[in-house]
Structure formats: structure tokens, C-alpha cells
Amino acid sequence: MPEGLEAELYRRAAEPCVGRTIDAVVVDERQPMAAELMATLPGRRVIAARRVGKLVLLDLRSGRRAGPTLGLHFGMTGRLVVDEVSAIERLEYASGRDDPKWDRFVLTFRNGGRLRVNDPRRWATFVLEPDEERLGPDFLAVSADELRLAVSRRRTALKAVLLDQRAIAGFGNLCADEILWQCGLDPARPANDLTARDLDGLVAAMRLHLPAMLARGGSHTGTISPEVRAAMPPCPRDGAPLRRATVAGRTTVWCPVHQTAVRNRRRS
């Protein structure tokens, strides 16, 4: 957390900033671009709030000159607060406090209001002109053909591909486990072993469940929720004992019955 769903909630929260002009900037001195941000941003007007994957982008303008783009990445524990309203009151793995000493980035606007990133662990990062080209297609908009291309040439575990932001941008650990559980695919299965039927099921699960989780409030609202991950009850679908393993370097919760690789290898 935050994953791509939380970043989309933050993008929506940032939309009221469009049209406003930045008056003052405060940046955590530990940020690599702190001096450049404080020198560049004052006087710039926000003209758009966008998102790619986990990255929130504010396009800026100075007079008639477009640019630069400000990129906000929230790490594991960063929260966006706009006009003192938080898009997400509490992240699943972070404090629910809004301590002013945790403000790592603050934009104050000329006619009032401000945008803050509050992060107790200093994992959020703020950059000018982020390299959007390094990111794959967004997980809320990826087409079946783009997904097929992303997995077809990869022998690594399917979950590793989903978590690779260069392949598909937006997935984090919770969303990846949820979608694989929903479509019945083994997270450790080689990505290039998927059949056409498997890929169709993966696309369908993404299109159905990611927007539903977004509407409910984020990546923690799936069936394989943080509470389920902690308690490890029987699988809600088939009653088999859920398993916990490490896949792609991340703690992974999955069902050995309906996500078994043997069943998934049936050819369409």
C-alpha cells in the first residue's frame, strides 16, 4: 500500500488543484530533488491531474509555456491530503495519524488551499519529469493484447510479471493476490505457460474486480483482504486451507485447490 487503486483515489483527490497556481513549496530535505522542486514549482499552474500505475502526475504550466510534470509516488505509507481532506483516512500498513511533522511535501496555492503528502516513513518520492515511458500499460486500462504481450515472453512467475511495473503498471501485492485468486491462477506458474483461456480469465477478473475494489475504497477490500491474510481461514471459494508462500519476493496467499497449476495447464 498504496497500490494503483490508492493512487487513483489520490488522483481524484488532486483534481480540485487543477487551475490553481502554486505559491510556495516545502520539500523534505532528504528528497534528492528537493532544491530543484522548491526552485521550479512556485508560480506554476496545475493544468491536469493524471495517473499511470502507482504514480500520480500533475501537469504544470508557466504562462504559455507547458511543463514540467510533477510526479508523486507514495511508497508504502504516503497519504495525500488536499485542502485538509484526506482521500484515504488510514492506509492498511501505516499510522492513521496526520502528524504535521510527517509532511514531506507541501504545495500552498495562491488563492488558498494546499496539497500535502504525509508520510511517517519517508518512503514517498517527488520528482520532476518522471520517466513515464518505463511504465507498462495501466492495470485499469490494459487491453487483452497488451496483457498477452506482457506475459507471453516471460518464464518467471506470473505474480512477478504482474508486480513488474515495466510490464503492467499499478499492481501491488494485495491486488495481485486478489486477481489471481479470483481467476484461479497459480501465482508461481511460469507466465509464458498461460493458455488463451487462462489469459481471457485473467483479463475478465481484472476488468470486473479492480473497479469494484476501487469503488469500495482500495486494494484492501478484496476477498483476500489483510484480515484474511492474517487469519488464514479456509478458502472462501472451496474450503481448502489457504497457503502462504513467498513468490517474487513477496508474501503470497493462495489456494492450492482452485489455483493449482495442474488444472491451469489444461489447454483450451
Q: How many CA atoms lie within 13 A of 212 on its CB side?
A: 12
* Residue pLDDT, tens place only, 32-85: 999 999 999 999 999 999 999 999 999 999 988 888 999 999 998 999 999 999
pLDDT above 80 for 110: yes
Rounded to whole angstroms, how far apart are CA atoms 210 and 227?
Answer: 19
What is the rounded distance in angstroms from the CA atom of residue 74 to the CA atom of residue 89? 14
| Predicted confidence (pLDDT) at residue 263 exceeds the cutoff of 60 | no
CB of 90 closer than 8 Å to CB of 13: no
The predicted-structure confidence for 228-255, as pLDDT tens digits, reads as follows: 999 999 999 999 999 999 999 999 999 9
Average pLDDT on 191-215 reads 95
In this prediction the pTM is 0.92
Of the pLDDT bands very low, low, confident and very high (cuts 50, 70, 90), residue 90 is low
Q: Does the structure show a pLDDT above 60 at 266?
A: no
CA 237, CA 242: separation in Å to the nearest integer?
10
Burial of 126 (0-12, 13-18, 19+ CB in 10 A): buried
Report whether 7 contacts 31 (CB < 8 A): no
Alpha-carbon gap, residue 143 to 203, rounded angstroms: 8
| Integer angstrom CA distances of residue 145 from 62, 134, 141, 165 | 39, 19, 12, 17
Contact yes or no for 209/178 (Cβ under 8 A): yes
Q: What distance in Å separates the CA atoms of residue 4 and residue 176, rounded to the nearest whole number?
A: 11
pLDDT tier at 3, thresholds 50, 70, 90: very high
**What's the average model confidence in pLDDT over 219-235?**
96
